[in-house]
Amino acid sequence: MGWILLLLIVAAVVFAISIYNRLVASRNRYKNAFAQIDVQLTRRHDLIPNLVETAKGYMSHERETLEAVINARNMAVAGLKKAAADPTDPDAMKQLAEAEQGLSGALGRLFALSEAYPDLKANENMMQLSEELTTTENKVAFARQAYNDAVMSYNTLRESFPNNFFAGWFNFGPAELLEIEDEAKREVPKVEF
């Protein structure tokens, strides 16, 4: 009878260790996925001052737009630093998403305005920076998708029975998705004949 009790205790301890290790591994996967977003957003933020400097020579009287891009970039950099410091902080993730959404909007206005300047559109630096920024935007989208997938897996593991007991005991809090809304994707397309 003593051996059976000992085996049950050992089995329960092994089971608890297994759950704890899976929670840790899952949390580390989503933190690593966020690190990939951090790399791509940092690259994006580093490209923007060069883009603005290139545009500045052609669009000197469009100062408000250029300043809006720089201000949005600075807010996005600050949001990224806060989120990178603690990817488990839901407020930091929401601030990052809002800052990145603002930056995307400001960049959209800059590119829309640049269409009115044929010399700027033909500028080799502007074309190269625009292409690099587009490539980086795609990488950000893929990294964000991988991060959100890792967060979903972690949250599912954390909330599943009996893992939810261990998650509560060892302070495995929920992870926040990174959702950057693109207003253009939400608009209903206008069809005219």
For residue 97, what is the domain's CATH number? 1.20.1440.20
Q: What is the pLDDT of residue 145?
A: 92
Say how far apart CA 79 and CA 27 lie, in whole Å: 21
Residue-number span of the structural domain to which 105 is assigned: 31-170
Does residue 132 belong to any structural domain of this protein?
yes
pLDDT in tens, 116-141: 777 776 677 777 888 888 888 889 88
Query: What pLDDT is stored for residue 182 in this prediction?
Result: 58
Report residue 108 as tokens.
């959209």
Q: Is the pLDDT of residue 6 over 50?
A: yes
Structure tokens at 186: 């939400």
> Domain for residue 180, yes or no?
no
Identify the residue with better confidence: 62 or 157. Answer: 157
Cβ neighbours around 54 below 10 Å, total? 20
Up-side HSE of residue 59: CA atoms within 13 Å toward CB?
26
- Alpha helix (H) residue ranges in 57-89: 63-85
Structural domain contains residue 16: no
pLDDT(69) > 80: yes
Confidence grade of residue 21 (pLDDT, cut at 50, 70, 90) = very high
74 pLDDT more than 90: yes
**Residue 26 resides in a domain:** no
The more confidently predicted of residues 60 and 186 is: 60
pLDDT in the model for residue 189: 43
Supply the pLDDT for residue 191.
41
Mean pLDDT, the chain, as a whole number? 85
pLDDT category, 28, cuts 50, 70, 90?
Answer: very high
Would you say residue 17 has pLDDT above 90?
yes
Asked whether residue 187 is assigned to any structural domain, the reply reads: no
How many folded domains does the chain comprise?
Answer: 1
* Alpha-carbon distance values, 51 to 30, 44, 57, 60, 92 (Å): 32, 11, 11, 14, 27
- 188, pLDDT greater than 70: no
More confident residue, 90 or 57: 90
pLDDT for res 190: 47
pTM, entire model: 0.75
